[in-house]
Amino acid sequence: MFKLLKYLKHYTLQSILGPLFKLSEAALELLVPLVVAAIVDQGITAGDRSAILWYSLLMVAFGLIGLALSVTAQYFSAKAAVGFTTRVRSALFRHIQGFTYTQLDQIGTSTLITRMTSDMNQVQSAVNLTLRLLLRSPFVVLGAMVMAFTIDWKAALVFVVTIPVLSVVVFGIMLICIPLYKKVQAALDRVLGRTRENLSGVRVIRAFCKEEEEIAEFDARNRVLTGAQKFVGRISALMNPLTFALINLAIILLIHTGALRVEAGILTQGAVVALYNYMSQILVELIKLASMIISLTKGVACGNRIQAVLELPTGEPVRESGETAAGTALVFRHVSFRYEGAQEDSLTDISLTLKPGETLGVIGGTGSGKSTFANLIPRFYEATEGVVLVGGKDVCSLPAGELRSRIGTVPQKAVLFKGTIRENLCWGNENAADEELHAALSAAQAAEIVAAKGLDAPVEQNGRNLSGGQRQRLTIARALVKKPEILILDDSASALDFATDAALRRALRELPWKPATVIISQRTSSIAHADQILVLEDGEAVGLGTHEALLESCPVYKEIYDSQFGGAKA
């Protein structure tokens, strides 16, 4: 958590002024009991109304000045806390963008969302309260004790005993609660993960009538979270009654001691009232301190979780490699890949060469490793064995930005972002002219989508105001705007009819910059005219060649073809 404080350096002035104004307000507050004592002794006891009026006006002035100081302090504290959290959130988001696919798989989306939202809010609240109360409350507590000694040192001994006992209670509860709040946040992660999974898969859940089972599972996780919150809540709740009990016992002892000393003529009645007010101030400040400590323990726990994410290494390290292949667009040399924690390879010993302008078709059953193959090309995942070369260079020797600028990837799931069609297409090239956008749309068979409303037609989140086929064609157009050296279509035409699919393939072959194209598809018709076809089964290459050659030599490919065309010749 404390490593995050470096993001507070941009708000050093506010972080100083906030506590400073709070301390000034606290100093005024420490003078109030003395004014009350003067009202009692010099005004009420002596029957001097002018003294009562004068000291009353002085208290009003203290109140107004204290209010101005308090508001100013809260302004600076809030500005520092909000600015600090904004910078941490930006740093965390930027850091997450550098995670590899493997890291994202391991951490989990729901966990990262919790870090960006719930955890961040807890940290902001903790910083705000800390700037306002961390110095003020101890200052008032110690200041009240010092002021009590200036009134009567024997009566003030009650303060000397009370304050350490209260400190043990407050900080003891804090030390117990910090690890418990970590468990609460971990339970919250699990609830959010289940919630996200259910919301994204709600149609499947309803289709299989699994609502009751999912509700039961959610309730079970929710009960665990509730139980953890109740347990730590019970411990935290001990703070107020324990501090109240100790303070009230101290007040009883103080009044008893004061009464004896008033009777002996050592103290005045006003002095006893002042001592009582100082004890009351200690009570109020310790309650505030307890609230701050509870918030601080939550903030520290959440800050540690955020810091843990920030400390994870990001990006793919660039490594020098002697592997080259001149005149090629894509080369796989004995490539194998295994997902983190998996028992077996998802791809095993894949070797092939693709030249600029050529087309590679990839086909195979579900789970055969087609998408994994595609993800190795832009180095979303890194090969466990072997080497992948793009443009004749090892992908591990190229910076991620340079590598991916050469590649246009259309993922299996079409993803569009809220905005306009133009804004989504310009992800491929932010400086693209309208002519380039229309050319890409035409090649992707998406020209009719913008024919009515134009390039500035709105796109809702995830493109939910578009059909599946429209989303796929727009994502293909987005990749074409980039004019990549390698174009990867990962089963990205599955929602298109055969005629549109054929028109798309024809348009891709006629692209003027002649990219090397990798088409991953379940349809043999989509890849039949490719220069090479890679057939995968359980992660292994069981065939590599042209459509005609594979029909003769590869039983797996022939089986797929026959299942789609009933044994008819292509």
- CATH number of 451's domain: 3.40.50.300
Q: Of 19-28, 266-275, 319-328, give the range with the top mean pLDDT.
A: 19-28
pLDDT at 150 over 50: yes
pLDDT of residue 88: 94
Any domain includes 68: yes
Q: What is the pLDDT of residues 231-246, one digit of tens each?
A: 988 888 887 788 788 8
Place of tokens 């390879």: 345
- Is the separation of the CB atoms in 261 and 21 below 8 Å? no
Q: Is 306 exposed, middle or buried (0-12, 13-18, 19+ CB in 10 A)?
A: buried
pLDDT at 98 over 90: no
Same domain, 411 and 288: no
Q: How far apart are CA 144 and CA 151, in angstroms?
A: 11
Any domain includes 398: yes
Same domain, 299 and 336: no
Q: What is the pLDDT of residues 179-211, one digit of tens each?
A: 887 788 788 878 877 887 888 788 888 888 888
The whole domain housing 431 covers 330-565
Phi and psi for 533 in degrees, rounded to 5? -130, 125
Which long-range CB contacts under 8 A does 77-81 form with residues at least 24 apart?
77/14, 77/18, 77/19, 77/22, 77/128, 77/131, 77/132, 78/128, 79/11, 79/14, 80/8, 80/11, 80/14, 80/15, 80/18, 80/127, 80/131, 81/124, 81/125, 81/127, 81/128, 81/131
pTM over 0.75: no
The one-letter code for the residue type at 527 is: I
Same domain, 234 and 352: no
pLDDT at 443 over 60: yes
Place of tokens 């002794």: 41
Q: What is the pLDDT of residues 491-537, one digit of tens each?
A: 887 778 888 888 998 999 999 999 999 999 988 888 999 999 999 99
Same domain, 283 and 339: no
Same domain, 246 and 382: no
Same domain, 381 and 241: no
Q: Which of 423, 564, 400, 556 is nearest to 481 (CA)?
A: 423
Any domain includes 324: no
Domain end point (choices 310, 339, 367):
310
Confidence of residue 567 (pLDDT cuts 50, 70, 90): low
pLDDT of residue 249: 87
| Section 60-72 average pLDDT | 93
Any domain includes 317: no
Geometric angle at alpha carbon 220, from 215 and 225, rounded to 5°: 120
Any domain includes 316: no
* Cβ neighbours around 122 below 10 Å, total: 24
Confidence of residue 74 (pLDDT cuts 50, 70, 90): very high
Q: How far apart are CA 388 and CA 399, in angstroms?
A: 14
pLDDT of residue 1: 67
Query: How many domains is the chain partitioned into structurally?
Result: 2
Q: How far apart are CA 567 and CA 570, in angstroms?
A: 9
Same domain, 303 and 381: no
Domain end point (choices 281, 310, 339):
310
* Cβ neighbours around 107 below 10 Å, total: 16
Contacts of 157 (CB under 8 A, 6+ apart): none
Mean pLDDT across the chain: 88
Share of the chain above pLDDT 70, in %: 99
Please state, in angstroms and as integers, the Cα–Cα distance from residue 163 to each residue in 173, 240, 405, 435, following that order: 16, 15, 64, 76
pLDDT of residue 329: 93
Q: How far apart are CA 339 and CA 360, in angstroms?
A: 24
Phi and psi for 227 in degrees, rounded to 5? -60, -45
Any domain includes 570: no
Any domain includes 248: yes
Same domain, 152 and 8: yes
Same domain, 268 and 339: no
Q: What is the DSSP letter of 7?
A: G
Domain end point (choices 246, 279, 310):
310
Any domain includes 320: no
| Section 342-367 average pLDDT | 92
Q: What is the pLDDT of residues 156-171, one digit of tens each?
A: 888 888 878 887 887 7
pLDDT at 356 over 90: yes
| Section 83-97 average pLDDT | 93
Same domain, 262 and 382: no
Same domain, 344 and 295: no
Higher confidence at residue 21 or residue 320? 21
CATH no. for residue 298?
A: 1.20.1560.10
pLDDT of residue 570: 46
Same domain, 262 and 338: no
